[in-house]
Amino acid sequence: MTIAQVRPYRGVAADERRGLRRQSLIETGLDCLAEDGLSGVSVRSICAGARLTPRYFYESFDGLDALLVAIVDSVAAEVAQRAIAAIAAAPDDLSAQVRAAVDAGYGVLAGDRRKANALLIAGAGHGPLRDRRQEIIMAYAELALVNLPPLRQLTATDRRRARATALFLVGGAAELIGAVLSGSLRLSRPRVVDQLTNMWVAALVQQAGGKASGVSRK
């Protein structure tokens, strides 16, 4: 590789330019999914929206499915990061931490309906996205057990029960939030957060045999 090939262009290094192009494709993909649905998304439409040639699309993604999975992953990561940060900032109380996590995650999706559509709605009948969504639900369930301090003290047996319950709760939360944000179910944000918090706390404490400490039933 010659020096000319790695020289910054207009002060921006090659790796940074690639990252910016990749992010532009993901943002455009979010737009296309929201406006046209899964059936209306194509490499051509995304390249046109991002004002990039197909060469730059394939620089970052093997194909359309790879981009769609990357879109879902980016939204899922943002939801997880916001929820984990909210747990860390909340009081040492299971109910308060669950409420903070639910509200933070809901806020990401309610604040940008493109993201809600990509993560919860658009890929329901699409194999790669359906599979990825299941992986994300399982990962979220594990994150709940790892990041909610009262649950970290459980025995191995109790953790197995709590993990199964968390998996059920994450899946149910995804369906509820998707229904609300798509307009199929009319509930206010406070009502959604209240209901999910109450269900999470009640179910986790019960499945853990009442051994989760620091629980408030406010």
Q: Which residues pair with 9 in a beta bridge?
A: 12
pLDDT at 127: 86
Distance CA 108, CA 64 (A): 25
Contacts of 33 (CB under 8 A, 6+ apart): 41, 68, 71, 114, 117, 118, 122
pLDDT at 88: 94
Distance CA 173, CA 176 (A): 5
> Which parts of the chain sit beneath pLDDT 50?
1-6, 217-218
CATH architecture entry for 65-207: Orthogonal Bundle (1.10)
Contacts of 168 (CB under 8 A, 6+ apart): 203
pLDDT at 211: 52
pLDDT tens digit sequence for 184-195: 999 999 999 999
pLDDT at 3: 39
Contact 197/102 with Cβ under 8 angstroms?
yes
pLDDT at 27: 96
Q: How many CB atoms lie within 10 A of CB 27?
A: 16
Q: Which residues pair with 12 in a beta bridge?
A: 9
Domains of the chain, by residue range, sit at: 3-61, 65-207
pLDDT at 102: 97
User: Is domain 3-61 in CATH 1.10.10.60, yes or no?
Assistant: yes
pTM for this one?
Answer: 0.86
Distance CA 28, CA 49 (A): 6
pLDDT at 80: 97
Distance CA 155, CA 131 (A): 30
The structure tokens listed for 114 are 């493109």
